[in-house]
């Protein structure tokens, strides 16, 4: 697979790591990134990761064969619409947003349809760090990228995006948009909101100092994810509110039932509940 | 600090690691352990950790200066009562149970009071493994042991238990019984039941294979604690049911409020909620 010119909009950890991974394949020509503050790209240019930094979208995408929109999900649809005005015909557009339904809905609302050359994508990878200077050439090795093509998505565009991520070392999996958002709500969004809620509750206890001081592995692991970026999680909750609300509702019902078992000292019910969870968990993870 | 004869009842990972740590201090004379199946102690005897294995409680504790009851919490009060019938006058008794209120209440119910030479204790340490063969001499180094003396606890007994754990490398902290159980409910028991409930919910999703396959860091960390021993967690929920029920109730209320914010797309409310949690968390952990 060859990409003569790759354009990246919002080149931070995710976009930068993709650039670095593709650089290592020697199947990549020029890399142009869009940056409102070009100084931030200084090190990336010096290190040879990025060839060209542009401050206008038109100049960024005019020659690009593949355009990766690596911004937060809320900005993706707007950039897709703007990119379409300036890119070559046949250029492939993709994104890395962690929510897909919101992007698709906004494209339909603003453009009337989802462009055939736009392939929604989501690499399941990241680190605690951000910014292009934290980019890692092996971030995607062995990780999964979910792509959610629509019925009108061009097969060639899908193939290009798939091969791009495979070249970066990832396994590419296809899912429909709603399934993606439900799976992410379950595996990522729900755990995060539960962790935030737990930390908030414990921080209100009168013994808060003891609570944090004696936090053993359980709470420490649990709470680490409550250290993520609040703005990002606000946007994820807004963007995927239907799936998250639904799962939170089921979770509350499950906790109410568990609470009854504890309050009534239902030994057998508690054992069944814990055994079922352990069995499911151990069947899937080592 | 010198202990001429240490007796351990229920010498598994926790009791065995204490024996190994004290062995390294050279301030320990003989170690006698109580075991219904003495074969299990074979390796520990061979390695010189244990000097003597007894199958009756009387023979185990008769010469002991310090007696550590390292059984599950539900068995502690029964063993304390039985040990009292056979031990030397002045022998110090302690335990390692993760719940303290239940033990104290049962002692008051059965003996009429908590013996003055019994010092309730709880080392906040462990590994995924169990059994004396998994014992580690440095398990307690840098960890906390909470002791919960009662108003009638003898100062000398408290000092002996404190020095014993300090010799094993731990920091010893004193708390009252109710405070201990509330802090543990918050930092350990609540996170565990939340994790079990999450795993159960996700295991019922029609996309269960995808859910576990695409589980990113968030869910993986979260679910690891749902792999703990179901019998132990049933007993903890029964033993500390009041504190856990109370915290679970507050947590459900908090989730209901969060769910309203998500369903109504309350951007500011969500941002405040997440920012508050991140701030509390980051203030206490690096």
- Rounded to 5 degrees, what are φ and ψ at A135? -60, 140
Answer yes or no: do B280 and A200 touch at CB < 8 A. Answer: yes
B252/A256 touch (CB, cutoff 8 Å), yes or no: yes
Collect all residues of chain A within an 8 Å Cβ-Cβ radius of residue B215: 187, 284-285
Q: What pLDDT sits at residue B203?
A: 87
A129 or B138, higher pLDDT: B138
Specify the range with the lowest mean pLDDT, choosing from A144-148, A170-174, A201-205.
A201-205
CB within 8 Å: A227 and B124: no
Instruction: Summarize pLDDT for B32-90 with one digit per residue, the tens.
Output: 999 999 999 999 999 999 999 999 999 999 999 999 999 999 999 999 999 999 999 99
Residue of B217, B239, B257, B279 best to disrupt the A interface, most CBs of A under 10 A: B217
* pLDDT band per the 50, 70, 90 thresholds, residue B96: very high
pLDDT band, residue B282 (cuts 50/70/90): confident
What is the pLDDT confidence band of residue A49, given thresholds at 50, 70 and 90? very high
Which value does ipTM take for this structure? 0.85
Query: Where does the pLDDT of residue B210 fall: very low under 50, low under 70, confident under 90, or very high at 90 and above?
Result: confident
Q: With CB atoms and an 8 Å threshold, state whether B196 touches A274.
A: yes
Contact yes or no for B234 and A277 at CB 8 A: no
> Between chains, do A211 and B183 touch, taking CB under 8 Å as contact?
yes
Q: Which of B179, B214, B273 sits opposite A207 (nearest CB)?
A: B179
Residue A139 CB contacts under 8 Å (≥ 6 apart), including other chains: A13, A14, A17, A21, A125, A126, A127
Asked whether A96 and A68 are in contact (CB, 8 A), the reply is: yes
Q: B132: distance to nearest CA of chain A, Å? A: 21
Among the partner residues A227, A256, A282, nearest to B278 by beta-carbon distance:
A227
Which residue in chain A is spatially nearest to B282 when comparing CA positions? A227
Q: How many CA atoms lie within 13 A of A41 on its CB side?
A: 24
Query: Cβ–Cβ of B207/A182 closer than 8 Å?
Result: yes
- Interface contact A225-B218, CB threshold 8 A: yes
Tell me the per-residue pLDDT of A213-243, one tens digit each, with 9 for 90 and over.
777 656 777 777 888 889 999 999 999 999 9
Instruction: Compute the distance between CA of residue A84 and CA of residue A135 in angstroms, rounded to an integer.
Output: 27
Which residue from A162, A184, A185 is spatially nearest to A173, judged by alpha carbons? A162
Model pLDDT for residues B122-134, shown as the tens digit of each residue: 999 877 778 999 9
Tens of pLDDT, residues B97-118: 999 999 999 999 999 999 999 9
Percentage of residues of chain A with pLDDT beyond 90: 82
Give the integer Cα–Cα distance in Å for B150 and A97.
56
pTM: 0.85
Measuring CA to CA, which residue among B109, B118, B132, B141 is closest to residue B24? B141
| Chain B neighbors of A215, CB-CB under 8 A | 187, 284-285
């Amino acid at each position: 697979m060859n990409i003569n010119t790759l354009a990246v909009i919002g080149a931070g950890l995710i976009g930068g790591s993709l650039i670095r991974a593709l650089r290592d394949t020697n199947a990549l020509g020029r890399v142009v990134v869009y940056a409102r503050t070009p100084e931030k790209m200084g090190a990336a240019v010096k290190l040879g990761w990025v060839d060209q930094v542009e401050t206008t979208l038109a100049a960024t995408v005019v020659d690009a064969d593949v355009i990766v929109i690596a911004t937060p999900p809320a900005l993706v649809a707007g950039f897709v619409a703007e990119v379409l005005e300036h890119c070559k015909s046949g250029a492939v557009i993709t994104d890395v947003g962690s929510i897909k339904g919101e992007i698709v809905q906004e494209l339909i609302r603003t453009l009337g349809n989802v462009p055939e050359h736009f392939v929604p994508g989501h690499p399941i990878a990241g680190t605690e760090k951000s910014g292009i200077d934290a980019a890692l050439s092996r971030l995607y090795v062995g990780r999964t990228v979910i792509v959610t093509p629509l019925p009108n998505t061009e097969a060639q565009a899908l193939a290009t995006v798939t091969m791009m991520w495979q070249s970066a070392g990832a396994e590419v999996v296809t899912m429909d948009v709603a399934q993606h958002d439900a799976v992410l709500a379950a595996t990522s969004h729900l755990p995060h909101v539960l962790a935030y809620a737990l930390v908030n509750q414990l921080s209100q206890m009168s013994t808060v100092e003891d609570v944090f001081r004696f936090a053993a592995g359980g709470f420490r692991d649990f709470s680490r994810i409550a250290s993520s970026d609040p703005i990002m999680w606000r946007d994820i909750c807004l963007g995927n509110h239907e799936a998250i609300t639904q799962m939170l509702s089921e979770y509350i019902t499950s906790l109410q039932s568990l609470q009854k078992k504890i309050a009534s000292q239902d030994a057998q019910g508690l054992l069944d509940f814990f055994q079922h969870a352990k069995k499911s968990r151990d069947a899937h993870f080592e």
